Amino acid sequence: MQINRIHDWYDKYHHDIYNYIFYMLGDHEQAKDLMQDTFVRAYHSFDSFHGGEEKAWLVRIARNITIDYIRKQKPIAYMFDWSKPLLANVKTPEQISILNEREKELYQALQKLKNSYREVIILRKIKELSIKETAVILDWSENKVKVQLFRALKALKKELQKGGFMHEQF
């Protein structure tokens, strides 16, 4: 029964998990690997799932796996600000060309934000999770999610403006 449920969740959420990890790392191949690791860990940790927000539970696993990966790759840089070394993970121009211009500018601006801002924007605005789901994943209060999102969007707007990108939403 457990394997069937994990398989169903994979079918339903693997794109979301992959995209979340990709936005955090900027590396397609590593995002694929960590997405697979997420579902393997979910299978092994299934007993700790007590019902409820299955997608939030999976994204939280993906977040922990991604943070563990980054810590192993850049342990000292992680202690200071793990968003800066991630810029080096942007691969070849061919890989970046997959993204359209708007996505590329947004992705580059996101990479310049501090980790907490980037995470809350990815979860709330890109992955379109609820405030409650985001709070569960980040282990924050719902009020903190709202405040951090406001600040994060303000910082993102500033980064996009620095890059000369203006969008009617901002």
pLDDT in tens, the chain (170 residues): 678 888 999 999 999 999 999 888 888 899 999 999 999 999 999 888 877 788 989 999 999 999 888 777 754 343 334 343 344 444 555 555 555 566 677 778 888 899 899 999 989 888 888 899 999 999 999 999 999 999 999 998 898 888 776 554 44
Global pTM? 0.61
| pLDDT tens digits, 39-48 | 999 999 988 8
Q: Three-state SS string across the chain, please? A: CHHHHHHHHHHHHHHHHHHHHHHHHCCHHHHHHHHHHHHHHHHHCHHHCCCCCHHHHHHHHHHHHHHHHHHHHCHHHHHHHCHHHHHHHCCCHHHHCCCCHHHHHHHHHHHHCCHHHHHHHHHHHHCCCCHHHHHHHHCCCHHHHHHHHHHHHHHHHHHHHHCCCCCCCC
